[in-house]
Chain A
Amino acid sequence: MLLIPCPYCGERAESEFSYGGEAHIARPADPEKTSDADWADYLYTRTNTKGVYFERWMHAHGCRRWFNIARHTVSYDILAVYETGAPPPKFDTKSEV
């Protein structure tokens, strides 16, 4: 069970959280002008990273806030936590396994 640092409540057990999938998937600003392919991409296409992955979590049994973390998908190390809307931090280790 992961230990997730909620940016608001502090470190809490994974069982308090809901997973929200990949972060930084922006809803197209004008869905009507978005092509079928781009819309399908927005709905369904996600990366499957071996390395640092940016993902969303929600502190369901806590402050109910959504936030982002950078997690290494091999070691499960949580390398950064940041608020929704903030840009993803940069890592040199992205390709390192």
Chain B
Amino acid sequence: MSQRYRLPDGGRIDRTAPLNFRFNGTALRGYVGDTLASALLSNGIHLVGRSFKYHRPRGIFSAGAEEPNALVQLGTGARSDPNMHATQVELIEGLKARSQNCWPSVDFDISAINDRLSRFMPSGFYYKTFMWPAAFWMRYEYIIRHAAGLGTAPTGRDPDYNDKTFAHCDVLVVGAGPAGLAAALSAARTGARVILVEQDAEVGGALLGLAGEKIGGKPALDWVAAARAELVESADVRILTRTTAYGYFDHNFVGLLERLTDHIVDPPAHLPRHRLWKVRAKQVVLATGAIERPLVFRDNDRPGIMLAGACQTYLNRYAVKAGQKAVLFANNDGAYATANDLAAAGVKIAAIVDTRPNPEGPHSERAESAGLPVLAGHAIVGTTGDKRVRQVRIARLNDDGSAITGEAQEVDCDLLAVSGGWNPAVHLLSQARGKIRFDEERGTFVPMQTEQATHVAGACNGSFGLASCLTEGFATGETAAKAAGLSSKSRRKKTPAASNETFLPARWTWLVPSETPLGRGGKHFVDLQSDVTAADLKLAIREGYRSIEHVKRYTTTGMGTDQGKTGNVNAIGIIADTLDRPIAEVGVTTFRPPYTPVTFGAFAGRDVDDLLDPIRKTPMHGWHERAGALFEDVGQWRRPWYYPRAGEDLHKAVAREVAAVRTSLGVVDASTLGKIDIRGKDAATFLNRIYTNAWSKLEIGKCRYGLMLGENGMVMDDGVTARLGEYQFLMTTTTGNAAAVLQHMEEFLQTEWTDLDVQLTSVTEQFATISLAGPNARRLLSEMTHDIELSPNALPHMAFTEGTVASVPARVFRISFTGEMSYEINVPASYGMAVWQAVLTAGERYDITPYGTEAMHVLRAEKGYIIVGQETDGSVTPVDLGMDWVVSKKKDFVGRRSLARPDMLKPDRKQLVGLLTDDPQVVLPEGAQLVERALPNPPMPMIGYVTSSYGSPNLGRSIALALVKGGLARKGETIFAPLADGRVVPCTMTDPVFLDPEGERLRG
């Protein structure tokens, strides 16, 4: 069987370039220029898959993006894609494709029994059957999904990479058929920046599938080639083929998916597979064409039943006869062109079945004069053939088309071409909130109104004739360019002449009657992909559904990956007829992006692995790596967590690091703390309003701890701020909040206190911060500076000075987060590494120990210092923390009024306490819930939870901080922590300061 359905000549395939491929394991041949579908058809293969619900055999139905049936799995292993449209997959050497949704094979599918059981599977079947017991839904769902399934996910890491880009243009033209090409040409001739998008591999649109069309007296495709050549030559025009405009979003933002390498056998590694374009277009021209509509008749889903236009495209573009003996079933004149073309190519036309009693129109007339057998006022009332249509039953329709009259006749065939009219592809227009209306004459929904800077041209606009497409395209392109601000006139050329035939006249038929009542014997499919029948729609209406959106959800019509491109309008027509309401009243369901599926990889782009999110590194990061540090993510920062030595685990390393700080000297990289330079005559006033405590009287050269609240009274941030001058302060923020604090303060300065003379500048990254802590901190620092006086009198706790450290200009703050004597040394960031190394070298004699965030947290917890974000969660006030001492009673500040709200004064608010387990060896898990009394089983009323918990080497026992209801007044009382492993840990609430409450150590 070697391409025996291929014509000896014609078409746009390259017969000198044969290709080998496999379908379900069978070796087959095709040509360059084929799609997988056209190559299969050339080999006589129609059966490509099984349907979603009933597992009925299905064939290739269309020749494009609207394909509901021919979904295949491409490739194997990591390079495998499910749900690919065989009608759009370009054939390449070695391509491997297989059918989906069938087991063990497409020819023999066990689940096909579903078809026999179908009268037990009405619409809403899953809702109705698997509702009870509710807890079983998870199990049902697993089985249902396993049986249904739409292909399989790739099994390994994506071997390709994907790209994303922004783009801007004056005019974005979607669709490169005659209207789109004309629009792009006239826009480009004004000098506009144009992007022309075409989902196909080449431009030309419907013209690629037609024979004998002329533009300007010459073959239409000559005009296409000339148009393309002119656009390629134009500066500022970009043609994107193999690119789908999948979504039209707000403010003329359009998403495109470009497939760069899917058609290349061995894609070069440097090329991305897909590129997601994020286009901001000043104006958009939609020239997306139209999609043919099938007819809904009994057993209309067999392989070999195909849209008429698709048959024509396979014939003319791919030189493939989709069958040897064809029947055409149509309700319009345009479809006769398919019969005429097929007949000319030597396909026997067994019958043309037309629902119209009096076939009129140019194509009908040609068919009649060619002597093709036309059965006017007839309909197909049934089909037979298991894996390929074999025979159709034809009967005469009554006058209004609602029933058949007389006996049915049987006609043999291997191809049934159907046409129920054409629907403009208004998907993008609708996504852009454009309005559509039902047009009685054309029997479909056409654009009515655009809401964004959108223009519509050609068949998408309901203008189906070629001449109209060209005229509208040229006019629209120029209008769009003008609207985009291009003033120069389009170098106007005369619109070339072309015929203006459309598919009209037609007789609208939503549901073709058959010999038995609907639902009895055979199925009238409306949505082939979701296996929804006309009977399902009618059942939904009988059960009370009225809104089209509800019927859609109940029956799942239009909810497959094809989004009902071929089925939706028929569904609306049938619903309207059943409800006896005009179609315009029933309306349409919402069109949603994406137009066709987009791979997850394209959305991810290069935001994967190490580039998923920025990893911020301090100037000393390389040293930490070389020292073997393990790291912890703090916001986007990567900070040393601890520095294990050989054989040490977290606990041993942290115990060593903590002990070093308390007994001799530790050093920590604190560069990640936020730093904000605050300048201006009103800087102190500003701080008074931003912080809970008072700042006016802070002396120059001194530091103060500050607590910042949101206006709702909840703790937002804390940190130490130094007064560098009369009108200059340096604020530090927590690592994670630096940007939020700056934004918070700018907001008040710009929107509330515009009279204040204050300027804020972030200097977080200007400085590297090296924090020395421990009894030997002063000794070491004094050895590294010759110009800073470090005596306790000259530089007491909470004081600031400037000088040089390791001969680098430095700001030195004597502040402490550990409870030990501590100096924070700020040097310009470029010198951070050098000074850090100098400190480590000079500190060797004190056995200086670098410590990480874990040791830092233990050290601060021993002192009861809070960490914003750990002891607080946006619902904790300073009063809850027992930090009234830092809240001024004398001034207003952001959040103050909220502290007096009734809820804030309740005695049972959760408050910060220290927590000591009765067994000193037990370290509570952070987040452990706390209860008054442990019950044998949950639920137990929760009165609080553990916020921080560590083993404290200095205290030789575990310590914890917790938020407990009314905890401040309950110190000394015992509560319980019931743990997940069944243990119930008794603990005693204490003061949160566990070590050196007088602060003698840090004053040194």
A27 to B750, CA, bound (A): 13
Known: A1-B249, A1-B250, A75-B451. A56 touches B901 (CB 8 A): no
A78 to B280, CA, bound (A): 16
A13 to B746, CA, bound (A): 21
B433 interface residue (CB < 8 Å to A) = yes
Instruction: Flag the segment in A32-40, A47-55, A87-95 that touches B.
Output: A32-40
The answer to whether B278 touches A32, judged by C-beta atoms less than 8 angstroms apart, is no
Task: Give B613 Cβ to nearest chain A Cβ, in Å.
Answer: 15
B596 interface residue (CB < 8 Å to A) = no
Size range of the chain B interface in the assembly: 20 to 34
Pick the most buried of B750, B897, B898: most chain A CB atoms within 10 A of its CB: B897
The answer to whether B897 touches A32, judged by C-beta atoms less than 8 angstroms apart, is yes
The answer to whether A66 touches B746, judged by C-beta atoms less than 8 angstroms apart, is yes
The answer to whether B750 touches A65, judged by C-beta atoms less than 8 angstroms apart, is yes
Contact among A32, A34, A36, A66 for B902, CB-based, below 8 A: A36
Determine the chain A residues whose CB is within 8 A of the CB of B23 once the complex forms: none
Known: A58-B743, A66-B751, A75-B451. A1 touches B902 (CB 8 A): no
Contact among A18, A32, A56 for B751, CB-based, below 8 A: A56
The answer to whether B750 touches A31, judged by C-beta atoms less than 8 angstroms apart, is no
The answer to whether B751 touches A2, judged by C-beta atoms less than 8 angstroms apart, is no
Determine the chain A residues whose CB is within 8 A of the CB of B892 once the complex forms: 31-32
A87 to B264, CA, bound (A): 59
Contact among B280, B898, B901 for A13, CB-based, below 8 A: B280
Known: A31-B892, A39-B901, A65-B750. A60 touches B743 (CB 8 A): yes
Contact among A3, A75, A84 for B750, CB-based, below 8 A: A84
Determine the chain B residues whose CB is within 8 A of the CB of A84 once the complex forms: 750-751, 754
Known: A60-B743, A64-B746, A66-B747. A27 touches B901 (CB 8 A): no
B427 interface residue (CB < 8 Å to A) = no
A97 interface residue (CB < 8 Å to B) = no
Determine the chain B residues whose CB is within 8 A of the CB of A43 once the complex forms: 711-712, 898
A13 to B433, CA, bound (A): 20
Contact among B251, B252, B280, B752 for A27, CB-based, below 8 A: B752
A10 to B166, CA, bound (A): 18
The answer to whether B251 touches A3, judged by C-beta atoms less than 8 angstroms apart, is yes
The answer to whether A58 touches B747, judged by C-beta atoms less than 8 angstroms apart, is yes
A75 to B182, CA, bound (A): 30
A32 to B743, CA, bound (A): 25
Determine the chain B residues whose CB is within 8 A of the CB of A20 once the complex forms: 747
Determine the chain B residues whose CB is within 8 A of the CB of A18 once the complex forms: 743
Task: Give B576 Cβ to nearest chain A Cβ, in Å.
Answer: 26
Task: Give B584 Cβ to nearest chain A Cβ, in Å.
Answer: 20
Contact string, B717-756, partner A, CB cutoff 8 A, digits 1/0?
0000000000000000000000000010011001110100
B896 interface residue (CB < 8 Å to A) = yes
A84 to B753, CA, bound (A): 11
B831 interface residue (CB < 8 Å to A) = no
Determine the chain B residues whose CB is within 8 A of the CB of A1 once the complex forms: 249-251, 253, 278
Q: Which A4-28 residues have a C-beta within 8 angstroms of B?
A: 13, 18, 20, 27-28
- Nearest B residue to A64, CB-CB: B746
Determine the chain A residues whose CB is within 8 A of the CB of B712 once the complex forms: 43
A36 to B901, CA, bound (A): 6
A66 to B278, CA, bound (A): 27
Contact string, B286-306, partner A, CB cutoff 8 A, digits 1/0?
000000000000000000000
The answer to whether B750 touches A34, judged by C-beta atoms less than 8 angstroms apart, is no
- Nearest A residue to B742, CB-CB: A64
Known: A27-B752, A36-B902, A40-B901. A2 touches B251 (CB 8 A): yes
Determine the chain B residues whose CB is within 8 A of the CB of A60 once the complex forms: 743
Contact string, A56-97, partner B, CB cutoff 8 A, digits 1/0?
101010001110000000011000000011000000000000
- Nearest A residue to B896, CB-CB: A31
Task: Give B590 Cβ to nearest chain A Cβ, in Å.
Answer: 15
Determine the chain B residues whose CB is within 8 A of the CB of A39 once the complex forms: 897-898, 901
The answer to whether A3 touches B897, judged by C-beta atoms less than 8 angstroms apart, is no
A3 to B281, CA, bound (A): 11
Determine the chain A residues whose CB is within 8 A of the CB of B743 once the complex forms: 18, 58, 60
- Nearest A residue to B894, CB-CB: A27
A20 to B751, CA, bound (A): 11
Task: Give B899 Cβ to nearest chain A Cβ, in Å.
Answer: 10
Determine the chain A residues whose CB is within 8 A of the CB of B901 once the complex forms: 36, 39-40
A39 to B894, CA, bound (A): 13
- Nearest B residue to A33, CB-CB: B897
Determine the chain B residues whose CB is within 8 A of the CB of A40 once the complex forms: 901
Determine the chain A residues whose CB is within 8 A of the CB of B896 once the complex forms: 31
Q: Which B880-912 residues have a C-beta within 8 angstroms of A?
A: 892, 896-898, 900-902
Task: Give B773 Cβ to nearest chain A Cβ, in Å.
Answer: 35
A47 to B800, CA, bound (A): 48
Determine the chain A residues whose CB is within 8 A of the CB of B746 once the complex forms: 58, 64, 66
Contact string, B260-296, partner A, CB cutoff 8 A, digits 1/0?
0000000000000000001010000000000000000
- Nearest B residue to A28, CB-CB: B897
The answer to whether A31 touches B897, judged by C-beta atoms less than 8 angstroms apart, is yes
- Nearest B residue to A27, CB-CB: B752
Determine the chain B residues whose CB is within 8 A of the CB of A64 once the complex forms: 746
- Nearest B residue to A18, CB-CB: B743
- Nearest A residue to B253, CB-CB: A1
The answer to whether A2 touches B711, judged by C-beta atoms less than 8 angstroms apart, is no
Determine the chain B residues whose CB is within 8 A of the CB of A31 once the complex forms: 892, 896-897
Task: Give A24 Cβ to nearest chain B Cβ, in Å.
Answer: 10
Determine the chain B residues whose CB is within 8 A of the CB of A13 once the complex forms: 166, 280
Task: Give B454 Cβ to nearest chain A Cβ, in Å.
Answer: 13
The answer to whether A85 touches B278, judged by C-beta atoms less than 8 angstroms apart, is no
Task: Give A5 Cβ to nearest chain B Cβ, in Å.
Answer: 11
Contact among A58, A76, A85 for B754, CB-based, below 8 A: A85
The answer to whether B750 touches A66, judged by C-beta atoms less than 8 angstroms apart, is yes
A51 to B251, CA, bound (A): 17
- Nearest A residue to B252, CB-CB: A3
Q: Which B234-271 residues have a C-beta within 8 angstroms of A?
A: 249-253
Determine the chain B residues whose CB is within 8 A of the CB of A34 once the complex forms: 897
Q: Which B199-257 residues have a C-beta within 8 angstroms of A?
A: 249-253
The answer to whether B747 touches A2, judged by C-beta atoms less than 8 angstroms apart, is no
Task: Give B293 Cβ to nearest chain A Cβ, in Å.
Answer: 31
Determine the chain B residues whose CB is within 8 A of the CB of A28 once the complex forms: 897
Contact among B433, B711, B747, B751 for A75, CB-based, below 8 A: B433
A69 to B898, CA, bound (A): 29
A39 to B898, CA, bound (A): 8
Determine the chain A residues whose CB is within 8 A of the CB of B900 once the complex forms: 36
A76 to B433, CA, bound (A): 11
- Nearest B residue to A38, CB-CB: B897
Q: Which B685-712 residues have a C-beta within 8 angstroms of A?
A: 711-712
A32 to B891, CA, bound (A): 10
Determine the chain B residues whose CB is within 8 A of the CB of A85 once the complex forms: 751, 754
A20 to B747, CA, bound (A): 9
A55 to B747, CA, bound (A): 14
Contact among B253, B451, B751 for A3, CB-based, below 8 A: B253
- Nearest A residue to B251, CB-CB: A3
A65 to B252, CA, bound (A): 25
A selection of 30 A-B contacts at a CB cut-off of 8 Å is A1-B253, A1-B278, A2-B251, A3-B252, A3-B280, A18-B743, A20-B747, A27-B711, A28-B897, A31-B892, A31-B897, A34-B897, A36-B902, A39-B897, A43-B711, A43-B898, A56-B751, A58-B746, A58-B747, A60-B743, A64-B746, A66-B746, A66-B747, A66-B751, A75-B451, A76-B250, A76-B251, A84-B754, A85-B751, A85-B754
Query: Which residue numbers of A lie inside 8 Å of B, CB to CB?
Result: 1-3, 13, 18, 20, 27-28, 31-32, 34, 36, 39-40, 43, 56, 58, 60, 64-66, 75-76, 84-85
- The list of the 10 closest CB pairs from A to B, nearest first, reads A31-B897, A3-B251, A66-B750, A76-B250, A1-B253, A84-B751, A2-B251, A27-B752, A39-B897, A66-B751
Please give 8 more A-B residue pairs, beta carbons under 8 A apart, in addition to A31-B896, A75-B433: A13-B280, A18-B743, A36-B900, A58-B747, A64-B746, A66-B751, A76-B251, A84-B754
